[in-house]
Amino acid sequence: MGFPEGFLWGGATAANQYEGGYLDGGKGLSTLDAITGGSHTVPRKISFKTADGEIKYVTRDQELGKGATGYVDPDQYYPSHVATDFYHHWKEDIALFAEMGFKTFRMSIAWSRLFPRGDEKEPNEEGVKFYEDVFKELRKYDIEPLVTLNHFDMPMYLADEMDGWLDRRVVDYFVNFARVCFTRYKGLVTLWKTFNEINFMRAWNTLGTKTYDDQTRYQALHHVFVASAKTVLLGHVIDPHNSVGMMIAYGTSYPEDCNPDNYMKNIEEMHVKQFFCDVQCRGYYPNYKLKEFERNGVVIKKEEFDDEILLDGTVDFIGFSYYSSGITTTRTDAETTDGNQRRNVKNPHLKANDWGWQIDPVGLRIALNELYDRYELPLFVVENGLGAIDTVEEDGSINDDYRIDYLAAHIEEMKKAVEIDGVDLMGYTPWGCIDLVSAGTGEMRKRYGFIYVDMDDEGKGTLKRSKKKSFDWYKKVIASNGEDLSK
């Protein structure tokens, strides 16, 4: 009963939100280095130069226009540049993860740290060495690295010069990057994921494209799918011990009520995310998507053998992030609230955090069931957590009971999925196990960690690390393999 032996408890981070050192050690600029800070009410912006050299700012859902190039404004604050500075604190941080008893640690490799422009044949050795040292340090404590090869970032040069993933050459550049990771970290890393939240790759910052119409997006995504499948195949050839998974943002969605129209609409809504799993787990484009392409005049240009590559390069496991669920309705006047990268219809049965994200632990069990029923592949909850404002008391303590309550409720439901529903679950890595920059808002005040980092929304702070109340709680959870969730 309970979680299986060897269940991988840990925590999750991403280079662009945690690592910092944005130009240290020969790193090149990434698209995410040109995204400003923001807040719950003020959106983050992309700074860029138009084809005529004019400096402009747009929100991430606005197109940059042909010929645009990313631009880092020296007078602007960009949260990714220092982030919470893992680059200079990795030993200290890993020691804290080890103290909590982590079995795994999820992190991403910044593509532009290994390949500053993206199109080089050989990597930047200083960058290769940085991650090698980090992986060795993790291994010292028996912590299994869980590595995301791409967490939203792309070398800015590839976006500037080639329109990012729209250019077929980027497939080869990415696979070369993956080849270097697999060969240079062989024996240190066996757990990999290709693209973080692949269903949220849609704009300049993630896909590197300058226009966002369906034709552009799906052609670019086709290249991402091919790159992912080639990466899976390559990972297996380089080391048969490698397990290479996909990663999707997966919150289940409920029809608003038993009105058949709402139910049908919900099927369509689920297809939006299932598409990404269908291609990566089944190895081909599903009919509902092909019909949509036909209706909308989207034509995917494929190269010979692309279909075979997709079919052969299906993933070994599904990693997914889960924060909340959604509701589908045919009504146009439904009240909405914020969610992960999109607005959701308000669910009267749920409470929400300060950013409007609705809290639904049972939804996690449902998500686990849905994914396992559909694909029968091992699952990994690689992100989950509560973004909240923490208060540092006068004595330095941080009493984040709300975070403990959130995580405990989700672990309970995960346990039911394993014990009662028989879902094959590999592990659990709550998001932002150490405080880091919010992807959505660029804020620091939206914290997820067990470890507090002294840094504010303007990038001011000592970067000092301190333990929150949840630190000792999670340590106990791990030591009891998820049995003891008490405070």
Question: Is the separation of the CB atoms in 216 and 166 below 8 Å?
Answer: yes
One residue of 93, 278, 316, 383 binding ligand BG6 per CB under 6 A? 383
CA distance 231 to 234: 5
Contact criterion met (CB below 8 Å) for 123 and 174: no
Cβ of residue 438: shortest distance to ligand BG6, in angstroms?
4
Q: Nearest to residue 404, comparing CAs of 389, 385, 418?
A: 385
Out of 102, 438, 457, 474, name the contact with ligand BG6 by CB under 6 A.
438
- Assigned token pair, 377: 């592949």
Please identify which residue in 97, 275, 380, 431 interacts with ligand BG6, judged by CB under 6 A. Answer: 431
As measured in angstroms, the least distance from the Cβ of 277 to ligand BG6 is 16
453 backbone dihedrals φ, ψ, rounded to 5°: -120, 125
Residue list 220-239, contact with ligand BG6 (CB under 6 A): none
Q: Exactly one of 162, 249, 315, 418 binds ligand BG6 (CB under 6 A); which one?
A: 249
Which is nearest to 35 in space by CA: 447, 437, 453? 437
Pick from 446, 465, 467, 468 the residue near ligand BG6 by CB under 6 A. 446
Helix (H, G, I), strand (E, B) or coil at 157: helix
Please identify, using beta-carbon distances, which residue of 14 and 107 lies nearer to ligand BG6.
Answer: 14
Among 194, 321, 344, 384, binds ligand BG6 (CB under 6 A): 321
Please give the full DSSP string across 433-457, using - where no structure is assigned.
Answer: SB----TTT--SSSB--SEEE---T
Q: Is residue 383 annotated as part of the catalytic site, yes or no?
A: yes
Residue span 93-132 as binding mask against ligand BG6, x where in contact by CB under 6 A, dash where not: ----------------------------------------
Lay out the site mask for ligand BG6 across 159-198 (x = CB under 6 A, - = otherwise): -------------------------------------xx-
Residue 187: exposed, middle, or buried by beta-carbon count in 10 A (0-12, 13-18, 19+)? exposed
- By CB under 6 A, residue 14 contacts ligand BG6: yes
Among 235, 387, 427, 449, binds ligand BG6 (CB under 6 A): 387
CA atoms within 13 A on the CB side of 10: 27
Catalytic-role residue among 19, 137, 144, 383? 383
Q: State yes or no: residue 477 binds ligand BG6 (CB under 6 A).
A: no
Which amino acid is it at 290? L
Work out whether 245 is an interface residue with ligand BG6 (CB under 6 A). no
Instruction: Determine how β-strand 104-108 pairs with β-strand 465-467.
Output: unpaired
Question: Rounded to an integer, what distance in angstroms lies between the CA atom of residue 363 and that of residue 321?
Answer: 12
Q: Which stretch binds ligand BG6 (CB under 6 A): 132-140, 174-182, 439-447, 455-463?
A: 439-447
In which element (H, E) is residue 46 found? Answer: strand 45-49
Report d(CA 428, CA 319) in Å as an integer: 10
User: In terms of Cα–Cα distance, which of 296, 305, 314 is closest to 216?
Assistant: 296
Whole-angstrom Cα distance, residue 190 to residue 179?
13
User: How far lies 154's CA from each of 118, 165, 309, in Å?
Assistant: 8, 9, 23
Beta carbon nearer to ligand BG6, 163 or 360: 360
Site for ligand BG6 contains 429 (CB under 6 A): no
Task: Determine the interface stretch with ligand BG6 among 94-102, 269-277, 437-445, 450-458 (rule: CB under 6 A).
Answer: 437-445
Whole-number CA gyration radius for the chain = 21
Q: Cβ closer to ligand BG6: 208 or 319?
A: 319
Q: Which is nearer to ligand BG6, 127 or 387 (CB)?
A: 387
Residue 19 known to be catalytic: no
**Binding-residue total with ligand BG6 (CB under 6 A):** 15
Q: Which is nearer to ligand BG6, 144 or 153 (CB)?
A: 153
Does residue 155 belong to the site contacting ligand BG6 (CB under 6 A)?
A: no
108 vs 243 by CB, closer to ligand BG6: 108
> How far is residue 143's CA from residue 121's CA, in Å, rounded to a whole number?
31
340 part of the interface to ligand BG6, by CB under 6 A: yes
Residue 367 binds ligand BG6, judged by CB under 6 A: no
Sign of the CA dihedral running 318, 319, 321, 324? positive
Pick between residue 143 and residue 249 the one whose CB is nearest to ligand BG6.
249
- Residue whose CB is less far from ligand BG6, 151 or 256: 151
Instruction: Specify burial of residue 375 (Cβ count, 10 A radius: 0-12, 13-18, 19+).
Output: buried
What does the binding site for ligand BG6 look like in residue numbers (CB under 6 A)?
14, 17, 196-197, 249, 321, 340, 383, 387, 431, 438-441, 446
Please give the positions annotated as active site.
Answer: 197, 383
